[in-house]
Amino acid sequence: MSVTPEEVRQIARLAELSVDEEHLPDLAAQMSRIVDYIAQLSQVSGGENAKPFIPGPDAIRLRADVVAPQPLEGKLSDFAPAFREGFFLVPKLGAFEGAEEDEE
Amino acid sequence: MSASAWETVIGLETHVQLGTVSKMFCGCSTTFGAPPNTNVCPVCLGLPGALPVPNERAIQLAVRAAVALNCTVHPRSVFARKNYFYPDLPKGYQISQYDQPLATAGHLSFLSPDRGVVRAGIIRVHVEEDAGKSLHDRFPRATAVDLNRAGVPLIEIVTEPDFRSPQEARAYLLTLKQVLQYVGVSECDMEKGSLRVDANVSIRKAGSTALGVKCEVKNINAFSYVEKALTVERDRQVAEVERGGTITQSTMLYNSKTNTVRLQRSKEESKDYRYFPEPDLPPLVLSPEWIAEQQGVLPELPATKRERFVSQYGLNQQDAGVLTAERAVADYYESVVHAGAEPKSAANWVMGEVLGDAKDHQEQLRVPASSLAGIIALVKGGTVSNQGAKKVFAEVAAKGGDPRTVAEALGVIQVADTGILAQWVEEVVTAHPAEAARFKGGETKLMAFFVGQVMKTSKGKADPKAAPKLLEERLAK
Amino acid sequence: MTEVEALASAKATATRLGKAKRLNALLTPTTVVRKSLLAQAKEAHPSGVLYGMPVALKDNICTLEFPTTCGSKLLEAYQSPYEATVVTKLKDAGALIAGKANLDEFAMGSSTEHSGFGRVLNPVDRTRVPGGSSGGSAALVGAGAVPAALGSETGGSVRQPAAFCGVVGIKPTYGRVSRYGLVAFGSSLDQIGVLGRSVHDAARVLSVISGRDPRDSTCENRDPLRLPTVPERLEGFVIGIPKEYFPVDLNPGVRRACDRAIRALKDLGAAVRDVSLPHTPYAIPTYYVIAPAEASSNLARFDGVRYGNRADGVTTLAELYRQTRGTGFGPEVQRRILVGTYVLSSGYYDAYYKKAQQMRALLAQDFRNVFDRGVDLIFTPTTPTTAFKAGERTKDPVSMYLADCFTAPANLTGVPAMSLPIGRVKGLPVGGQFIGQPFLEDDMIEAAYALERAIDGTEEA
């Protein structure tokens, strides 16, 4: 299999998706099928020399630096799953939870 | 082995908030200190369907910073997504730049406390957006997320591993801060988070040229922690190696309360950010003319200004350094000189009274430059004594006003009128016959005593430069 | 139209939507749509060019009036606090928003069997799929419930269901229509498209929703598309027929319908020429690297922190993310996120993502080579088959992917393309596809107008 269950486990962790252990082999088989299919691209050459294709405008149109926020209908608490005193809430982060910075 | 047998090698990554009024990719305000989640919109909240639109001024300031740091600014650069999950990263990715950044290959010279002038290599300067803030102590069982800061424009400045001590790293940072403030890019206030630094620290045997394994140090939140944090990490690595252990590439978090570092993440768990070009943004294309324009509007940079102050105003290096530490102060000083004040007097007054007053009043330069020039002129002309002038300064700082008028109102105008002076002189000589006799007998150094007495009697109003002449005449009788 | 007529249109639409209920094409309850349509009819701008026209919207387009679920349990009750630019444009033109149409979850699919809220039925044959991912939009138009609907395309998700349901479907040039408010799937591929019961209905809605938007950096700074007039003949048009779209084993019924359409184009005075788009067979693998890669990143924002259904009982951040996403996303979405994450991960980026971008450049070059040699339009079948049966392709994901083999090249290269009914095979609709040059949609629409008039699209081929 081109994609092993262990790889699926790692990818799922990167993608923050819970996957039941018992589904891992099936998922690995499906992913292998897809990966094997898309791997046929490696057989084609010549793309390195083709003019790179970027859809849309050729260059960014920059925006003037003015305070002009887009309005929001209603309040954040209307759609926030957990909201208190103006803050979004998540379970308290532990010491090793991938924090880029410890704030305050 | 002693610490001196080890060489410390440090590289710095600095994140600087650009001084724009709106965010990098949306029109929300960047003002610091707003109530949580009030400077937000669909874009910086990462709502489904929202799209980024880049801020022109942010790019302008980024280019100016890059030029001030002697970088090559690339006419074409590309935004990229840095993918990771964290509660204050609303989209689950940060829009940054990866393999085609805005600028590369620059340098910044600074004065090392150990080695004289050092030129630190700058690998790259790129543009990105800031994340929000996660507050862990606000609520007992939850982490609070505020996205006001999410989307604020940043530049990231990455140096070569060119620093050889924690002190050097700090000196570079202060110079960097100074240059960026000069150019008007950012306030560079670590307390407010507009300047943040992460360091890469490694050690090697003194004399070796190979690089040791580096560890990243994060969470250095103030200038005063820079040296401490890097010293602690260096010491940790030295201790580990001297114990017979090896250094593994890790991320360490600095704790300022305990002055320690702890492991946050080791290489095995290092993140795969899966960078790819940002599909919601075309390439950033800047014309050579526009880039040249940014170079053209750059102000005189600190090092050049300092040298010029030395040669133009006859100041010594140290004083020139103090006066050019901040651009606002340097500009102020020059305004005072252009208003007619003698450069050295102006320097003393600015370094003394002006900066002292500013320290107590939120760094404001409260006395207008022309007024300070006026005060200095009053002293020069003998109208006011130094002491009196300081009183005038304080009054003008607090309430404004013309220096001469204020001096009169305060009653500190020195009296050089010979009629009034003669009365005080008479009073003093009459009151001290013994000293008068000794003076007449040849103890000419008693003049200082008599001048002092005249000042005392006149309650400071007498002009101490005019008094000696009258005293001599009187004592000669 | 007068306000009285607009109100009548609103009522009639609500009734027709109610009749089409069993297709499961509309996610908005009929009572809610009815109430909203009547209120909108009173408020609509009477001078707008679409005044009183009911238009349904695929449910990945943000609206203020109705929730935006993207066909996902994760967003089941999500109420967007802002509306998409295209919605504002429709309303400014006096159109009535006729509810939100069902779709494959997050627009990932080719059959609308992967919705979190049940599959959509093909109005022509309810045992078959309507195509996807804009299957709800296509079914509503196909059933005659609305004259037009907005869909979205990433790999063909407007044209393919249009072909399966016997309606017109247009995908504009990438950058012609603002994506602001379209929930992103594959950002460099996504475009909002229009389904309509006729070329005219689809084209006039496209004209209204197109044009510059400063809130979308990938939207070109152009005026809205001007509606071309219906041409009498097609003299001067050069139409290319690419051999790669007519393989030897092409479904014979589809081939017959295409042949008839090509004859009609010749009869209208167009010059028809054989051409080649040699990298066509690689379009699907290319698409299935780039689209999932971009999707894996675009869907990272669905983390349960700020909106959406957060999983119950989570006590750590990791649980919050993994349970919310693991239970909120359906299996097709999860598969694509995993594939996308895989092809972007270090060690695989060069072999997959970078390689796919190179292939994309070659596909773009294929089209340039054809158009630069004096060809105005390309004509092909829209899909290799007619609508397949529900459940027929859900077991093997790759077999489902192949349904897009004739549509995906236009998404990958940004060119405009459209499908219109050109016949039936055993009663099932066949779509014929025009592929046009960037920002020359009017040529494409003109040819489609003429063809639509010349043939009976419901005739057995």
CA torsion through residues C387, C389, C390, C391, sign: negative
User: SS3 of C427, please?
Assistant: coil
pLDDT band for position B2 (50/70/90)?
Answer: low
Chain B nearest CA to C345, separation (Å): 5
pLDDT of amino acid B266: 64
Indicate the DSSP class of residue B462: B
Q: What gap in Å lies between CA C129 and CA C388, rounded to an integer?
A: 6
Q: What gap in Å lies between CA C376 and CA C236, rounded to an integer?
A: 9
Assess whether B389 and B433 both reside in one domain.
Answer: no
The number of folded domains in chain B is: 3
Which helix H or strand E contains C287, and what residues bound it?
helix C283-298
**Which of B258, B293, B328 represents a domain boundary (last residue)?**
B293
Nearest to C80 among B47, B272, B274 (CB): B47
Which helix H or strand E contains B8, and what residues bound it?
strand B6-17
pLDDT band for position B267 (50/70/90)?
Answer: low
pLDDT of amino acid A97: 56
- Report phi then psi at A24, rounded to 5: -55, -50
- Residue C189: closest CA among chain A residues belongs to which residue? A55
In the predicted structure, residue C440 carries a pLDDT above the cut 60: yes
Q: A34 lies in which domain range?
A: 5-43
Chain C residues within an 8 Å CB radius of B279: 186-188, 218, 294
Reported as a single tens digit per residue, the pLDDT across C165-176 is 999 999 999 999
**Best C178, C344, C360, C411 residue to mutate vs chain B (most B CBs within 10 Å):** C344
The CATH number for B435's domain is 1.10.10.410
Could you confirm whether C9 is annotated as catalytic? Answer: no
> Mean pLDDT lowest for which of B118-122, B206-210, C194-198?
B206-210
Chain A nearest CA to C379, separation (Å): 22
Find out whether B76 and B285 touch, Cβ atoms under 8 Å: yes
pLDDT of amino acid A28: 94
- Residue C83: closest CA among chain B residues belongs to which residue? B49
Assess whether B245 and B272 both reside in one domain.
Answer: yes
Reported as a single tens digit per residue, the pLDDT across A1-48 is 789 999 999 999 999 999 999 999 999 999 999 999 999 998 888 778
Assess whether B263 and B283 both reside in one domain.
Answer: yes
Assess whether B351 and B454 both reside in one domain.
Answer: no
**Which of B357, B379, B410 represents a domain boundary (last residue)?**
B410
Q: What gap in Å lies between CA A35 and CA C284, rounded to an integer?
A: 12
Q: What gap in Å lies between CA C63 and CA C57, rounded to an integer?
A: 9
**Which of B358, B386, B410 represents a domain boundary (last residue)?**
B410
Nearest to A57 among C78, C220, C286 (CB): C220
In-domain check, residue A28: yes
What percent of chain C stands above pLDDT 90? 96
Reported as a single tens digit per residue, the pLDDT across B10-55 is 999 999 999 999 999 999 999 999 999 999 999 999 999 999 999 9
Q: Which of C72, C111, C133, C198 is catalytic?
A: C133
Q: What gap in Å lies between CA C268 and CA C286, rounded to an integer?
A: 36
CA torsion through residues C174, C433, C245, C242, sign: negative
pLDDT band for position C1 (50/70/90)?
Answer: confident
- For chain A, list the contacting chains (3+ Cβ pairs, <8 Å): B, C
Chain B nearest CA to A64, separation (Å): 6
SS3 of B242-310: HCCCCCCCEEEEEECCCCEEEEEEEHHHCCCCCCEECCCCCCEECCHHHHHHHHHCCCCCHHHHHHHHH
In the predicted structure, residue A100 carries a pLDDT above the cut 70: no
Which segments within C251-376 are labelled E, that is strand? 271-275
Chain C nearest CA to B278, separation (Å): 9
Q: B72 lies in which domain range?
A: 3-293
pLDDT band for position A102 (50/70/90)?
Answer: very low
B103-106, long-range: CB within 8 Å, 24+ apart, which pairs? B103/B62, B103/B63, B103/B66, B103/B69, B103/B71, B103/B72, B103/B73, B103/B74, B104/B71, B104/B72, B104/B74, B105/B71, B105/B72, B106/B66, B106/B69, B106/B70, B106/B71, B106/B72
Instruction: Return the amino acid letter for B448.
Output: A
pLDDT of amino acid B4: 67
Reported as a single tens digit per residue, the pLDDT across C48-101 is 999 999 999 999 999 999 999 999 999 999 999 999 999 999 999 999 999 999
Could you confirm whether C115 is annotated as catalytic? Answer: no
Q: How many CB atoms lie within 10 A of CB B471?
A: 24
Q: What gap in Å lies between CA C453 and CA C232, rounded to an integer?
A: 9
Give the residue carrying structure tokens 């092409």.
C250
Instruction: Return the amino acid letter for B439.
Output: F
Chain C residues within an 8 Å CB radius of A34: 288, 335, 339, 397-398
A70 vs B133: CB contact, 8 Å cut-off? no
Q: Average pLDDT for residues C118-122, to the nearest whole number? A: 98
Assess whether B140 and B269 both reside in one domain.
Answer: yes
Assess whether B26 and B169 both reside in one domain.
Answer: yes
Assess whether B72 and B87 both reside in one domain.
Answer: yes
The number of folded domains in chain A is: 1
Q: Classify each residue of B232-252 as buried b or exposed e, where b means 16 or more C-beta atoms within 10 Å of its C-beta.
A: bbbbbbbeebeeeeebeebbb
Q: What gap in Å lies between CA C409 and CA C378, rounded to an integer?
A: 12
Q: Which of C9, C157, C210, C296 is catalytic?
A: C157
Assess whether B231 and B352 both reside in one domain.
Answer: no
Q: Average pLDDT for residues B109-124, to the nearest whole number? A: 94
Query: Residue C143's closest CA among C8, C22, C9?
Result: C22
Chain C: which residues have CB within 8 Å of chain B?
A: 61-62, 68, 70, 75, 78, 80-82, 84, 179-184, 186-188, 214-218, 293-294, 296-297, 299-303, 305-307, 317, 321, 341, 344-346, 349, 353
CA torsion through residues C23, C137, C117, C385, sign: positive
Assess whether B346 and B450 both reside in one domain.
Answer: no
Could you confirm whether C133 is annotated as catalytic? Answer: yes
pLDDT of amino acid B476: 83
Q: Is C313 exposed, middle or buried (0-12, 13-18, 19+ CB in 10 A)?
A: exposed
Q: What gap in Å lies between CA B35 and CA C98, rounded to an integer?
A: 39
Touching check for B81 and chain C: CB below 8 Å?
Answer: yes
Q: Average pLDDT for residues C333-351, to the nearest whole number? A: 95
Chain C residues within an 8 Å CB radius of B143: 317
pLDDT of amino acid A95: 57
Assess whether B322 and B435 both reside in one domain.
Answer: no
Query: Residue C293's closest CA among A41, B101, B50, A46?
Result: A41
Tokens coding A65: 């630096």
Q: How many residues does chain B have?
A: 477
Of the two residues B203 and B474, the one the predictor is more confident about is B203
Assess whether B356 and B441 both reside in one domain.
Answer: no
Give the residue carrying structure tokens 């019924």.
C253
**Best C322, C338, C345, C349 residue to mutate vs chain A (most A CBs within 10 Å):** C338
Q: How many CB atoms lie within 10 A of CB B13?
A: 17
SS3 of B61-81: HHHHHHHHCCCEECCEECEEE
Nearest to C79 among A47, A53, A79 (CB): A79
In-domain check, residue A55: no
Could you give the ipTM of this predicted complex?
0.96
Which helix H or strand E contains C355, and what residues bound it?
helix C355-371
Q: Average pLDDT for residues B411-437, to the nearest whole number? A: 84
Chain C nearest CA to B16, separation (Å): 25
Alpha carbon distances (Å) from C161 to B306, C29, C338: 71, 23, 26
In the predicted structure, residue B272 carries a pLDDT above the cut 60: yes
A69 vs B27: CB contact, 8 Å cut-off? yes
Which B-chain residues 311-370 have CB contacts (< 8 A) with chain A? none
Query: Residue C147's closest CA among C204, C65, C229?
Result: C204
Touching check for A55 and chain C: CB below 8 Å?
Answer: yes
Give the residue carrying structure tokens 């900066």.
B355
Indicate the DSSP class of residue C155: S
Touching check for A91 and chain B: CB below 8 Å?
Answer: yes
Q: Is B297 exposed, middle or buried (0-12, 13-18, 19+ CB in 10 A)?
A: exposed
Q: Average pLDDT for residues B196-225, to the nearest whole number? A: 93
User: SS3 of B143, please?
Assistant: strand
- Report phi then psi at B405, rounded to 5: -60, -45
What pTM was estimated for this model as a whole? 0.91
In the predicted structure, residue A96 carries a pLDDT above the cut 90: no
Assess whether B200 and B314 both reside in one domain.
Answer: no
Kind of pairing between the strands at C271-275 and B215-220: unpaired
- Residue A63: closest CA among chain B residues belongs to which residue? B55
Q: What gap in Å lies between CA C344 and CA B93, rounded to an integer?
A: 13
Chain B nearest CA to C37, separation (Å): 24
In-domain check, residue A92: no
Q: Average pLDDT for residues B55-60, to the nearest whole number? A: 98
In-domain check, residue A11: yes
- For chain C, list the contacting chains (3+ Cβ pairs, <8 Å): A, B
In-domain check, residue A59: no
Alpha carbon distances (Å) from C398 to A32, B246, B463, C287, C402: 11, 49, 100, 12, 6
Chain C residues within an 8 Å CB radius of B90: 301, 305-306
pLDDT band for position B3 (50/70/90)?
Answer: low
pLDDT of amino acid B461: 79
Query: Residue C105's closest CA among C96, C117, C97?
Result: C117
C318 vs A80: CB contact, 8 Å cut-off? no
Q: What is the dihedral of CA B415, B416, B422, B424, to 10 degrees?
A: 30
Chain A residues within an 8 Å CB radius of C154: none
Which of B3-7, B107-111, B223-227, C255-259: highest mean pLDDT?
C255-259
Mean pLDDT of chain C: 96
Find out whether B188 and B181 touch, Cβ atoms under 8 Å: yes
